[in-house]
Amino acid sequence: MFYRENGQFKSSYRADLALFPVAQDRWALWGLLVLCFVVVPFVASDYLFRAVITPFLILSLAAIGLNILVGYCGQISLGTGAFMAVGAYAAYNLQVRIEGMPLLLSLLGGGLCATAAGVLFGIPSLRIRGLYLAVATLAAQFFMDWFTNRAKWVTNDSSSGSVSVANLQIGGYAFETPVQKYLLCLGIVVLFALLAKNLVRGAIGREWMAMRDMDVAAAVIGIRPVYAKLSAFAVSSFIVGVAGALWGFVHLGAWEPAAFGIDKSFQLLFMVIIGGLGSIAGSFFGAAFIVLLPLFLNYVPHWLGLSISTATASHLEHMIFGALIVFFLIVEPHGLARLWSTARQKLRLWPFPH
């Protein structure tokens, strides 16, 4: 009744190509943005920002990057942690070694270094596919683990192997409090989400999806497989690299190589699968799910009056993750995003059944 497109006619292709053709969607999005930028800073607690909201934002960004590679272009990657590491360490080196380096440039520089690594490790995808590519990306992951551990110059010759970043500021405005850090991340994430959405709606997005669905036919209609695959790796790694830099700079503050290990890669892959492959919104859903689940598992027994040890909680978490992955793959391989769009479809008809 409320969510109908009645009366919303488009008289130009430009209008039809808009990001949210349905007016209600546009209003909802503006409302959400207002909520995030204006309301949340006053309402949420510092703990909530530090533990939930900011990590959720940064991981969503990384999930968008991974979704472009896995969901839109169909190239499976288990080395996402490695690219986050490249982004984080490159940004760190830029920030620390160059006097007066602006924060944003460091972040972008980190992204660009991750792009280079991504293209390099994406070259195997030109010859191999599917599960074989998965193993090749594992090579990237373990190599990077080793590299960031051994190569002393990466950590600026830090004796403990861990690095830290302080004093985030842009043009004199310092980002110290959780709220300020949140706003920084929010701005970056919203911008990148918009750019990513534009890419996947456009010609390059169609090339990626063509490669995913049938790469032989894609070549025949004039899509260059090399360009399509490597551009997917490049764009994906750039976004993942920036997310990695944000993760290190903003969320962790200080980190060592283990922060970007294979567990992170699996975590991101789960986000993308549960959230929905091939959906930008799905990346957000998946990230929210994965960030909230451990907290949920910690608090629910509390509320119910049961007490379980952290070890048991962690095991349960693993079991529930695993079970949910299988569940989603069986029931809704397109993830939460598909559930959401099905709900919206039903809303269009509500209160009528069909």
Taking CB under 8 A as the rule, which mask of x and - marks residues 107-126 in contact with another protein?
-----------------x--
Taking CB under 8 A as the rule, which mask of x and - marks residues 37-76 in contact with another protein?
-------------------------------------x-x
- Which of 219, 281, 293, 347 is in the footprint of another protein by CB under 8 A? 219
Interface region with another protein, contact rule CB under 8 A, candidates 22-30, 84-92, 202-210, 249-257: 202-210
Answer yes or no whether residue 209 interacts with another protein by CB under 8 A.
yes
Nearest to 228 by CA among 304, 119, 141: 119
Judged by CB, which is closer to another protein: 94, or 210?
Answer: 210
Distance, in Å, from the CA atom of 54 to the CA atom of 40, rounded to the nearest integer, reads 12
Output DSSP code: residue 286.
Answer: H
Nearest to 270 by CA among 193, 315, 323: 323
CA distances from 103 to 66, 115, 205, 235 (A): 24, 18, 30, 21
Output DSSP code: residue 254.
Answer: E
Angle, CA of 241, 247 and 252, to the nearest 5°:
150
Interface region with another protein, contact rule CB under 8 A, candidates 88-96, 107-115, 193-201, 249-257: 193-201
Answer yes or no whether residue 323 interacts with another protein by CB under 8 A.
yes
Kindly state the tokens that stand for 47: 């703990």
| CB atoms closer than 10 angstroms to residue 144 | 23
Answer yes or no whether residue 319 interacts with another protein by CB under 8 A.
yes
Answer yes or no whether residue 187 interacts with another protein by CB under 8 A.
no
Positions in 237-296 near another protein (CB under 8 A): 262, 266, 269, 273, 278
Positions in 123-152 near another protein (CB under 8 A): 124, 127-128, 130-132, 134-136, 138-139, 142-143, 145-146, 149-150
| CB atoms closer than 10 angstroms to residue 44 | 15
